Amino acid sequence: MKRYSAFAIAREAARWHMGWERAWRSPTPKAKYDVIVIGAGGHGLATAYYLGKNHGIRNVAVIEKGWLGGGNTGRNTTIIRSNYLQDPSAAIYEKARSLYETLSQDLNYNVMFSPRGVLMLAQTHHEVRGYLRTAHANKLQGVATEYIGPEKVKELCPIINLDGPRYPVLGALWQPRGGTARHDAVAWGYARACSDMGMDILQQTEVTAIRQAGGKVTGVETTKGAIACDKLAIVVAGHSGVLAEMAGFRLPIESVALQALVSEPIKPCMDVVVMANTVHGYMSQSDKGEMVIGGGADGYNNYTQRGSFHHVEETVRALVETFPMISRLKMLRWWGGIVDMTGDRSPILSKTPLGNCFINCGWGTGGFKAIPGSGWGMAELVARGEPGPLTAEFGLDRFREGRFIDESVAAGVAH
């Protein structure tokens, strides 16, 4: 595959852009692969990419029932941060954040990583204590964050109202190298690199059953026929419970709709990401000028990929308190995705009761930021058959053994 470069843009400009290649192939499925990954979201594609790059396993298919990146990966609000409390979480999220720093160069694809800084507002004394604790933990973990006062918050984000009617801003947890990236580009960049390594990305191909013999996986049945494999990775976010049922085991996961909305584009007014967990809303400004707003998760389990009015009302009400200027904005679009929530709000990267079948799920409302680190760890798990340092604590066993990785504070707002 030809490399993208400034020279390539100039060359194509001179010949009416007729020389660009397709970014990835649309192959016919082979009869058998070494590894099948179900789900061409960011986590599935990153798993395939690091299987090839780090472990030399390239006879891989990524099977997707819709179009690649059309699940939560293409529906999220793209916040990237690693300021989690528990050590295993900080390790995997910081690995991901640090891989994001050079992902565009690594994939030769501009993922538009923008480390503009993330503010998590403290609006109650309880939150102040929680974020001070996280800042101390992050210091020990080597994650660069600091707790800052309200004056610094105002300096970083002049449009903020510090004296909201219900909750004044008392301070914030500040991660200067957190930020955003372009969600589609992350999926497309990984897909292009996987295809370049000879891997097959099979879109419009739904997995309908998982084949097994002697307690081990042997392949999958799909809407395009049966495909055999030696190893299987299930990476389907909100549909994890459905695929686990096909494989014959149950997961401690609930699927709920989570939604977001964007405003009409306006001139640049905010160059940081702000999360306000107490009033429950968060906002950043896209490169096009739209205000990207994250809403809440539904309070009941469902598989609907759409928004609901009461969440929009609650989220906008919360943000108008914090940023009064947005009361005059028109909203352009709003949508939903299906997120996979665990009880401790931490992911599952694990072997399963079915031999040679592995699962990556439970990223809930906050897995976009984890994509590179999750793919790195999952590839290691699939290639070796045993968890490595990044994934050791995230096994399914923790729910049986009571070793929860409680991130309900870090994940207290949908992001």
Ligand X SMILES: Cc1cc2nc3c(=O)[nH]c(=O)nc-3n(C[C@H](O)[C@H](O)[C@H](O)COP(=O)(O)OP(=O)(O)OC[C@H]3O[C@@H](n4cnc5c(N)ncnc54)[C@H](O)[C@@H]3O)c2cc1C
By CB atoms closer than 10 A (0-12, 13-18, 19+), residue 349 is buried
40 sits near ligand X (criterion: CB under 6 A): yes
Strands 200-202 and 171-175: unpaired
Report the C-alpha gap between 241 and 258 in whole angstroms.
17
Residue 79 interacts with ligand X (CB under 6 A): yes or no: yes
- Lay out the site mask for ligand X across 195-224 (x = CB under 6 A, - = otherwise): -----------xx-----------------
Backbone angles phi, psi at 55, to 5 degrees: -125, 0
CB of 14 to ligand X, least distance (A): 37
Whichever of 7 and 300 has its CB closer to ligand X, that residue is 300
User: 37: which strand partners?
Assistant: 62, 233
Q: How far is the CB of 208 from ligand X (least distance, A)?
A: 7
Provide the residue count of the chain.
Answer: 415
CB of 151 to ligand X, least distance (A): 27
Which of these segments, 8-16, 62-70, 116-124, 134-142, binds ligand X (CB under 6 A)?
Answer: 62-70
Question: What span, in angstroms and rounded, lies between the C-alpha atoms of 124 and 151?
Answer: 16
The answer to whether residue 252 forms part of the interface with ligand X (CB under 6 A) is no
Q: Which of 4, 50, 72, 145 binds ligand X (CB under 6 A)?
A: 72
334 binds ligand X (CB under 6 A): no
Three-state secondary-structure class, residue 54? helix
Long-range Cβ pairs for the range 51-56 (8 Å, 24+): 51/379, 51/382, 51/383, 52/194, 52/197, 52/199, 53/193, 53/197, 54/376, 54/379, 54/380, 54/383, 55/379, 55/380, 55/383
* 339 sits near ligand X (criterion: CB under 6 A): yes
Q: How far is the CB of 19 from ligand X (least distance, A)?
A: 30
Of residues 351-380, those binding ligand X (CB under 6 A): 363, 365-369
Of 76, 82, 134, 391, the residue at the interface with ligand X (CB under 6 A) is: 76
Under rule CB under 6 A, residue 77 binds ligand X? yes
Q: Looking at beta carbons only, is 166 or 288 nearer to ligand X?
A: 288
- Kindly indicate which of the ranges 48-56, 58-66, 124-132, 158-166 contains the residues binding ligand X, using the contact rule CB under 6 A: 58-66
CA 217 to chain centre: 27
Region near ligand X per CB under 6 A, out of 37-45, 48-56, 137-145, 150-158: 37-45
To the nearest 10°, the Cα dihedral for 37, 41, 47, 51?
Answer: 70
CA angle 73, 99, 37 (to 5 degrees): 45
Q: Which residues, numbered 87-126, are part of the site for ligand X (CB under 6 A)?
A: none
Residues contacting 205, CB < 8 A, separation 6+: 29, 63, 64, 65, 222, 223, 224
Token digits for 259? 């939604």
* # residues near ligand X by CB under 6 A: 40
Residues 147-176 that bind ligand X (CB under 6 A): none
Q: Does position 43 bind ligand X by CB under 6 A?
A: yes
User: What angle (nearest 5°) sits at the alpha carbon of residue 72, between those of residues 137 and 78?
Assistant: 50
Measure the CA–CA gap between 245 and 240, rounded to whole angstroms. Answer: 9
**Candidate residues 337, 377, 387, 395; the one interacting with ligand X per rule CB under 6 A:** 337
24 contacts ligand X (rule: CB under 6 A): no
Contact set with ligand X (CB under 6 A)? 38-44, 63-66, 70-73, 75-79, 206-207, 235-237, 239, 243, 258-260, 294, 337, 339, 363, 365-369, 415
